[in-house]
């Protein structure tokens, strides 16, 4: 998944999911900064500075996005000759949002007058290979 697709899927999750499950606006800002980042493994402090929030908000955002299946990370380590294994910054991976359709949607989305109705959701499910 490209960074632009990741940012779009985070926006889609903010739009479709119920209030308690969706990412907040600060979480979306952190996701946009992570998508724009040139290096695949920025630190939490650098992300917080770029997004204009605190480090704890970045950690909450990353955990929320990981819980939605949009993001994952791998620990990076290297072996030092004198001090053993050293931990580096995490490497972030953008995932396809399969869990996005598994969460109950807001009722507003399923009404016929909404811009994204049942047909669009079924088309997305077909496109993502869920049906």
Q: Is residue 85 situated within a structural domain?
A: yes
Average pLDDT, the chain: 76
Say which residue, 59 or 131, is predicted with more confidence: 59
Q: Which residues pair with 93 in a beta bridge?
A: 72
Provide mean pLDDT across the span 33-58: 88
> What is the rounded end-to-end Cα distance, in angstroms, of the chain?
20
Q: Residue 112: what pLDDT? A: 42
Q: Is residue 57 situated within a structural domain?
A: yes
Range of the structural domain that residue 18 is part of: 3-96
The CATH number for 7's domain is 1.10.10.10
Q: Residue 22: what pLDDT? A: 82
Say which residue, 114 or 129, is predicted with more confidence: 129
Q: In whole angstroms, what separates CA 40 from the centre of its chain?
A: 14
Cβ contacts of 75 within 8 Å, gap of 6 or more? 87, 88, 90
In contact, 98 and 7? CB cutoff 8 Å: no
| Ordered DSSP codes for 59-70 | HHHHHHHHHTTS
Lowest mean pLDDT, pick from 7-11, 26-30, 102-106: 102-106
Q: In the chain, how many domains are there?
A: 1
Q: Is residue 104 situated within a structural domain?
A: no
For 57, the token pair is: 């908000």
Nearest to 27 by CA among 78, 85, 71: 71
pLDDT category of residue 107 using cuts at 50, 70 and 90: very low
Q: Is residue 30 situated within a structural domain?
A: yes
Provide mean pLDDT across the span 100-111: 46
Q: Is residue 121 situated within a structural domain?
A: no
Cβ contacts of 4 within 8 Å, gap of 6 or more? 35
Residue 120 pLDDT exceeds 70: no
């Amino acid at each position: 998944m490209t960074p632009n697709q990741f940012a779009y899927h985070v926006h889609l999750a903010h739009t479709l999911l119920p209030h308690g499950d969706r990412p907040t606006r600060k979480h979306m800002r952190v996701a946009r900064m992570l998508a724009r980042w040139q290096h695949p493994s920025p630190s939490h402090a650098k992300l917080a500075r770029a997004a204009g929030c605190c480090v704890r908000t970045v950690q909450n955002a990353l955990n929320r996005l990981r819980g939605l299946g949009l993001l994952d990370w791998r620990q990076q380590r290297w072996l030092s000759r004198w001090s053993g294994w050293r931990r580096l910054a995490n490497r972030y991976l953008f995932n396809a949002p399969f869990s996005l359709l598994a969460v109950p949607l807001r009722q507003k989305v399923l009404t016929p007058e909404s811009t994204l109705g049942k047909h669009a959701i079924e088309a997305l499910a077909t496109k993502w290979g869920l049906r």
